[in-house]
Amino acid sequence: MLIKKYQIRIVLSDCNPSSQKVNAMVDLSEDISEMLPYLNTALKGLHYFEEEKILTVKRRGRLITFRPRQIALTKYLYLQTDFKAP
């Protein structure tokens, strides 16, 4: 499976809008739901919710959630000068 296009959105935290850490949302052009069960089997520490087709993992204090057409990362340290659009 090849993801042809994606778009990154930076979203302020609802509970703390003045925080230096934000959420990053990656909207995907392709549906990755068929790949999620394989990732869950191959990698350790992931949690797959079959009915919802959602895969989650916690790494370095961040929750990473894979949905069929979106990847969400919490507590992303965003420095405007460091961000470059693809």
- In the structure, what pLDDT confidence band is assigned to residue 59 with cuts at 50, 70 and 90? confident
Residue 26 within a domain: yes
Reported as type and span, the H/E element at residue 41 is helix 36-42
Structural domain boundaries enclosing 45? 6-82
Helices and strands (H and E) in the chain: how many: 1, 6
pTM of this structure: 0.78
CATH number of the domain where residue 71 is located: 3.30.310
- Per the structure, the count of domains in the chain is 1
Residue 1, domain member (yes or no): no
**Whole-number average pLDDT of the chain:** 84
pLDDT, tens digit, 9 for 90 and up, residues 4-40: 999 999 887 666 666 667 788 999 999 999 999 999 9
